[in-house]
Amino acid sequence: GQSLEQPSEVTAVEGAIVQINCTYQTSGFYGLSWYQQHDGGAPTFLSYNALDGLEETGRFSSFLSRSDSYGYLLLQELQMKDSASYFCAVGFDYGQNFVFGPGTRLSVLP
């Protein structure tokens, strides 16, 4: 079967740096994506890693190690608006059949 693990909750203060980890056990792997979802909204794409290494997009970075079946999302200079749920998702083929992780609820405190 397919399974992904993420911490359920993370709390940090404004300006801090937070790392959200994702480990996966899947029968195939095409890439690891990260999505942000605010309450009541649809997922918003943040980052995608198909190859090992770090992808940087502004305040957000994502890392992948395929040999370790592990990735993380790094959020820098946290802002209140970053309070949301963050999901990692593994794609299995180019059709990108996704399986989502359980999500991490990030609370940013003033």
The contact set with another protein (CB under 8 A) reads 30-31, 33, 35, 40-43, 45, 48, 87, 89, 91, 94-103
Cβ proximity to another protein: between 70 and 98 the closer is 98
Closest approach of another protein to the CB of residue 103, in Å? 5
| Minimum CB distance to another protein, residue 19 (Å) | 20
Instruction: From 18, 32, 20, 19, select the one nearest 69 (Cα to Cα).
Output: 32
Closest listed residue to residue 73, CA positions, set 19, 26, 16: 19
